[in-house]
Structure 1
């Protein structure tokens, strides 16, 4: 069915139906139901086809959003998928987990004009899932095999995006990851109710079928050195991400019962994948029957509170020092958490973790927003005499992530880092301070979004291609 565009005057925005909160909080299945063809086509036809597509500008990957919306509305689904996949390595993943309300949909002209944005993320997911169902998604195949090889450290979104781009060009690509599965945070950091793991495994299987070697359980710096990889490959890409959780830095923050967000999420994801995890089985990283307090206001905090609900926590509270309007996490995720029974304690910060031999509560203070800080956000300041306590058997720190010590990890002092611990990289070439060693993703920019990691990985692949071709020309002269 072919539809006319600019139907926003006739059709209201309709997000995909969601499973009822009472049902979805009992399992880790995705909460959104799929669009059918008619509904997806109708929603795509709401697009205004702007002369200046602000949705595309707001997308880190520069996806050709108006074009594949129009193709979807016209029923040209195979072309819509080809257009979507041309700029995005993982459209089925971005359609599920990107914070569209802060990116493409937030920039949509319809959103700015009070007509409500086109449901870009849901349509992106629909287009890709339809393409998989029709058998249109194939492993990337190079036109010509090249002799040069590239080693990629890190099997997360940045590393895998680079691997696919380099394999398309014909390079021999090997990805090394310390975990027992590929996907990085996609497989272990993001809960199944946002991204079912079969979706990630389906994509990594395609990469393996393309001839990319996926080496799991390889800890670079322990099992093999960076120097060895440099000898083994013509170029190396570091895409390890950032995994070290930030500390509370308050009295009692080392008590048993306090856990890093990533440790908690990885445990649940492993259990969901069928692994046996002692820390889950003995109750250490299982919230069942506990009063849980999660400290933080980003998307990771939302993942933790919603995981605790599904594990059967007695109560779940999210403690955040700013108000709802100033939190960094997706407002959609906050709404989902509230529907599922999470209580938000806004404008409050922890001052002490209470307990003797284990956590029993969190002492906190009320905050108010004062003068704006260097980032332009109002700085939270404590209100004297406003102390209060929250009961807690389990406290989860979701305060953000920092890089691991690169020098200790790789044993290479010539690999320069910034004062934040991220890798120093030439913005034009993506090369670090070691010749032939490149970097991409969070290990360069700090903790960020999956879509930015994909963008960085694809850009780094282009730089690696130019580097190897330049070396080949010099060798031939």
Structure 2
């Protein structure tokens, strides 16, 4: 029985609501969050669009399997804490996922309304639920703790896969400690995603939820240096280890001139800005002055878009996204592409870099590019870009950001029992996510390569169940 009073026909006539946002000309001059969130009225109207499908295809499309119709129905009932609880059964990071999950590729892609129109704005409703209940959720008791199992699990990295894994493990009754190499918790949520997309206070809140559940957090611990995996077992007394260290080793283009001054990896730029506030006047880790500079970003994923939009906020005069495929092949979220266009980012498609140009003093002055055309699909399913002979051209530049993906951190390769693929990712059993080393599991970008936050969380939950099964047999 649904709490929606509208007949089915009337629900289908309601148009999808757009998330209110800062005006483009205003937001490019600040790092405040762009999207402003639904009001109660907008949220209720959007929730009325849900058809409450019995088989819930949207939930089937969610990597962590949130019971989406249930939480939307609770919004209609006016029971916001009930809506939050429906989400929290499967997702302890709703405020994060409501902001950065590419719902159009997961839950919303399965929405029945999307077959002939626009799907329900599930992500916006999730964000509204999380934000509107944050104070109440922080104030209420955490409920009864499960009986302790006496088993200890160490989690390497504090990104989304580890946080999701920790949430399930602590609710199984295990003792859980998360080790983070940096001085703030959240992994890519903290250092990789800009403040204007995901405020750091949101991440801190979600981490604190886990801390109040009993998860322990240790910062400034580099597993592979400070402690090895074997020491976690032999000296620290852990019964199992989960590796959720992400993929933090930047890939580069491998073309001449890439060593020139003025060329950043997206990892360095975003970490300095997001984690170390390098845009502030008195920052102890400053970056090159972007003001009035021409910047090119190579890549077309969310990280590339984040780098381009960050460059604008640092004062760049002109920012280009350069991508060797077409706009249709861009892996970035549609919303981020639209926001970038609104803010003035210029897009050059079907162009590949050949060489960075030196000003004679070791500084970048430009890039030589070649036009491309699309051939047959490659292993990724996207059409392969092929060079067009005689189509080279030059673009004058001051700064460049390389955002073409990442590999795994090499520190963990000191553990001989772990097996790595040719791409540098960890090999695991696809069902259990267990590595070749007994008691060691892994998930997220360290296994798949760069992917989405919600996919990493799904892997974390899958690993938590496998770890629990493993520990029950000890």
Whether these two folds match at TM > 0.5 is yes
Count of aligned positions: 465
The equivalent of 1:454 in structure 2 is: 457
Secondary structure of the structure 1 residue equivalent to 2:78: coil
Secondary structure of the structure 2 residue equivalent to 1:380: strand
The equivalent of 1:387 in structure 2 is: 392
CA contact (8 A) 2:308 2:321 kept: yes
Tell me the distance in 2 between the aligned counterparts of 1:235 and 1:315. Answer: 50
Tell me the distance in 2 between the aligned counterparts of 1:390 and 1:139. Answer: 57
Tell me the distance in 2 between the aligned counterparts of 1:410 and 1:188. Answer: 23
Q: What is the CA-CA distance between 1:54 and the residue it aligns to?
A: 2.7
The equivalent of 1:124 in structure 2 is: 126
The equivalent of 2:214 in structure 1 is: 211
The equivalent of 2:365 in structure 1 is: 360
Structure 2 unaligned segments of length 5 or more: list them.
none
The equivalent of 2:168 in structure 1 is: 165
Tell me the distance in 1 between the aligned counterparts of 2:343 and 2:217. Answer: 38
Q: Which of 58, 78, 82 is residue 79 of structure 1 equivalent to?
A: 82
Moved more, 57-66 or 441-450: 57-66
* Correspondence 1:339 to 2:342: yes
The equivalent of 2:5 in structure 1 is: 4
Q: What is the CA-CA distance between 1:51 and the residue it aligns to?
A: 3.6
CA contact (8 A) 2:178 2:217 kept: yes
* Correspondence 1:96 to 2:80: no
Pairs within 5 Å for 1:134-213: 134-135=136-137, 139=142, 142-213=145-216
Q: What is the CA-CA distance between 1:439 and the residue it aligns to?
A: 1.0
Instruction: Give the aligned CA root-mean-square deviation in angstroms.
Output: 1.9
Q: Which of 298, 303, 319 is residue 322 of structure 2 equivalent to?
A: 319
Tell me the distance in 1 between the aligned counterparts of 2:217 and 2:129. Answer: 27
CA contact (8 A) 1:142 1:169 kept: no
CA contact (8 A) 2:194 2:310 kept: yes
Tell me the distance in 1 between the aligned counterparts of 2:141 and 2:351. Answer: 50
The equivalent of 2:428 in structure 1 is: 425
CA contact (8 A) 2:159 2:187 kept: yes
Instruction: Summarize the Cα distance change of 1:274–1:159 in structure 2 as closer, same or farther, 3 Å threshold.
Output: farther
Secondary structure of the structure 2 residue equivalent to 1:386: strand
CA contact (8 A) 1:226 1:410 kept: no
Q: What is the CA-CA distance between 1:410 and the residue it aligns to?
A: 5.0
Instruction: Summarize the Cα distance change of 1:265–1:8 in structure 2 as closer, same or farther, 3 Å threshold.
Output: same
CA contact (8 A) 1:150 1:236 kept: yes
The equivalent of 2:116 in structure 1 is: 113
Tell me the distance in 2 between the aligned counterparts of 1:135 and 1:78. Answer: 8
Q: What is the CA-CA distance between 1:428 and the residue it aligns to?
A: 2.7
Instruction: Summarize the Cα distance change of 1:277–1:248 in structure 2 as closer, same or farther, 3 Å threshold.
Output: farther
Secondary structure of the structure 2 residue equivalent to 1:267: helix
Structure 1 unaligned segments of length 5 or more: list them.
472-477
Moved more, 125-134 or 138-147: 138-147
Pairs within 5 Å for 1:15-94: 15-94=18-97
Tell me the distance in 1 between the aligned counterparts of 2:310 and 2:141. Answer: 34
Q: Which of 297, 300, 304 is residue 300 of structure 2 equivalent to?
A: 297
Secondary structure of the structure 1 residue equivalent to 2:146: coil
TM-score by length of 2: 0.94
